[in-house]
A and B are shown apart, each in its own frame.
Chain A
Amino acid sequence: MKVRAVQYVVLLGVAAIFLGPLYWLISAAVKQPAEIYQWPPVWWPDDFTWGNFKLAWDAAPFDRFFVNSTVITVAGTILKVANAVLTAYAFAYLRFPFKKVLFLLILGAMMVPGHVTLLPNYLTVASLGWINTYAGLIIPGIGSAFATFLMRQHFLTLPGEVTDAAAVDGAGHLRTLWRVVLPMSRPMLVTVVVITAVEEWNNFVWPLIVTNTAEMRTLPVGLLILKDEEGLANWGTIMAGTLLVLAPMLLIFLFAQRYIVGGITQGALKG
């Protein structure tokens, strides 16, 4: 099977293209500086060292960045998903005048590009006194349009009898939501949570603008600071810092890749 063989070679090539930069990153992070700045290049670090991580940690407060990123991701995800679920529920199961218009209004927010909002939102957050606070970092991002849309579409596919029965039982709406609708929507909920969490963790431009002390910075922004701090760029240190930023997402991805991949596919195909 000549075709098969070619296919395997291509497959290997593809794997190499995607792994290569990551290998270059990880190997540099554990190489001695002398091995990084050596030509011809050292492909396999002979002399393992954790020194680069220590240098990165000394140059910038990565523990603090990590805490901030975690707080923002967790709080931001919870609030945003809660907004999505509650809004979607209301639109799927409750009556309200001009519901259609309201729904269009919410969806319309998807059409507003993030960059367009930077300057005005900065001014708004400033006048609320939220510059360099968790509130300023989190609140502007918790409005949910796409996730609301996904959740609502999903709610509408649930068999009507389920919610009818629950309502007849006298269960209140919130209880119906919690006991019946949400458990039946678990896959979609996971999707929405994952998409949101990844977005929050990787968010760059807003935290860059709205924070002004190292204590409030997040990992991706911290990486930029590390690059500045290391006036004379030291690749070993910078790669170690980069690895610190990537590691949590890579780990989560390794463990939850099935859900993530499934979730994102579903999100895209449903959308």
Chain B
Amino acid sequence: MTMRRRTFLGLAGVASLAGCGYRSPDAEYKQPAGAVPKQYAGRTRVVFWSSYGGTNGKAVDKLVAKFNESQTDVYVEAQFQGSYDDVAQKIAAGLIARQTPDLAVLSDVTWERFFLNDALEPLNGYFTDGFGPAVFHSKLFNEYVVKGQSWCVPFARSTPILYYNRDVFAKAGLPDRAPRTWSELRSWGATLAKVDANGRPMRTLALAKVDGDWQFQGNVWQFGGAYSKGLDVTIDEDGAVAAGEFQRQLIHIDGHGYMASSPMTDFAGGLVAMCQDSTGGLKSAMSKAKFKVGAGFIPSEVAAGLATGGGGIGMFRNASAERKQAAAKFLEFLATPENSAWWTTQSGYLPVVDKAREDPALKKLVADEPNYGVAIAQLVNARPQDAIRLYGRNANVAIYTGLQQIYADNADPKKVFASVARRLEAIADEVSRLYESKVL
């Protein structure tokens, strides 16, 4: 044991000699490179890493520009970093490099690791009258509260909604609404198949190849199961297996479902009648699709249940006090009802600020286009996600990799989930100590 320890210290010494030191939670780190433009000279620069591209990215840029115009002390620079996973990866890498953004978008499954490893700044100390527990939607706000302390604030929060092609439904003679249960959805398959989709029978539902574990979290609840209870893995038990079996049959027995690289792309392209996808894609779906897009609640089966998802914004502990103060100003700006509502109208994400729902522009939008109201109404079904998906390192990948085997290979869900469960248990073991000391 002593020997082991000495060797270890020796090696650690060699490593740090070469300059590869590690993070110290309280050190002050530099920002990612960049400069403050001339017209904002003298302001505190805040770097904000975002994961929104395309339509939503442009909206983020506009919010940032508006903020920079609105005051004279802070300059926020938004840097698009790719997907949620990309952002998390770049932050981890940055921390090693002793470099940190001040704010970053963290997804429902990435913020926890930064929290568990002391990389996030607790936010309670920054709350003001216009920015704090009273302002945000309580369900969404509380997802980031652990033992009374806030670690992120909600921003681009979403739920999956069921998108359906209204034109195709009309052609097929189906009612103009989303199916109420999964059984009903399945029963519509044969009717939908009579509609032509580019020379092929229209398929009913596209299931996501990557990150499908998020939608499936809800599906598991809808079939009466759970990924885990606490960190005790239950994905190999009845409800979850039933959900997997339902999807397997839809794909491999009926031939009405299939796995798609991007269900939304196929849906908007008119290749498939329905998909369950984030409400955050609503605006871009409606602008790209050449048919009338319908949106409805995700079907239930034995129960209703829904996982919220999307991004919150976290602040990083290794930023300087000055930068943190400045960053909080930007968070406060985003939390005004007006800006929150505007972001919703531009993206389709949920209004995370309660008063945003009273915003006239948003109200008008919902009145004109009821699709924008679906996610808000559906929020009553939302529940906190199962702990293993949230806290287990890469648990989401283990789950969606298993789903791919069901979707692509017609693998038996019972067997697949049994092996996924083994993996998740290993993941749970790894995180249990931190989880028990910091979360429970």
Contact = CB atoms under 8 A, between A and B. Distances in A.
B366 interface: no
A132 B32 contact: yes
Interface stretch (A44-52, A123-131, A168-176): A123-131
Contacts of B264: 231-232
B20 interface: yes
A39 interface: yes
A33 to B, nearest CB: 10
B10 interface: no
A127 B269 contact: no
Nearest to B81: A212
Q: How large is the interface on B (under 10, 10 to 19, 20 to 34, 35 or more residues)?
A: 35 or more
A124 B18 contact: yes
Nearest to A133: B33
Contacts of A124: 18-20
B281 A231 contact: yes
A214 interface: yes
B55 A131 contact: no
Given A212-B32, A231-B284, A127 B79 contact: no
A213 B98 contact: no
Interface in A165-224: 209, 212-214
B408 interface: no
Contacts of B81: 212
A36 B94 CA distance: 41
Contacts of B18: 124, 127
Contacts of B198: 37-39
Given A39-B198, A232-B285, A126 B93 contact: yes
B302 interface: no
B175 interface: no
Contacts, number: 79
Given A131-B93, A228-B82, A228-B83, A213 B32 contact: yes
Contacts of B288: 232, 234
A97 interface: no
B279 to A, nearest CB: 14
A15 to B, nearest CB: 29
B239 to A, nearest CB: 32
A127 B21 contact: yes
Q: How large is the interface on A (under 10, 10 to 19, 20 to 34, 35 or more residues)?
A: 20 to 34
Interface of A is mostly: loop
Contact of A123 (B90, B96, B269): B96
Interface in B284-338: 284-285, 288
A164 interface: no
Interface string A228-271: 11111110000000000000000000000000000000000000
Contacts of B281: 231-232
Given A59-B54, A122-B93, A225 B19 contact: no
A56 to B, nearest CB: 13
A40 interface: yes
Most buried by B among A38, A231, A233, A234: A231
A38 B290 CA distance: 13
Contacts of B80: 214
A131 B96 CA distance: 11
Nearest to A37: B269
Contact of B199 (A39, A122, A133, A230): A39
Contacts of B56: 231
Interface of A: 37-40, 59, 120, 122-129, 131-133, 209, 212-214, 225, 228-234
15 contacts: A37-B198, A38-B198, A123-B20, A123-B96, A126-B93, A126-B97, A131-B32, A131-B99, A132-B32, A132-B33, A231-B53, A231-B55, A232-B54, A232-B268, A232-B281
Given A127-B18, A213-B32, A229-B54, 9 more contacts: A37-B269, A120-B20, A123-B96, A124-B20, A129-B97, A131-B97, A213-B79, A228-B83, A229-B57
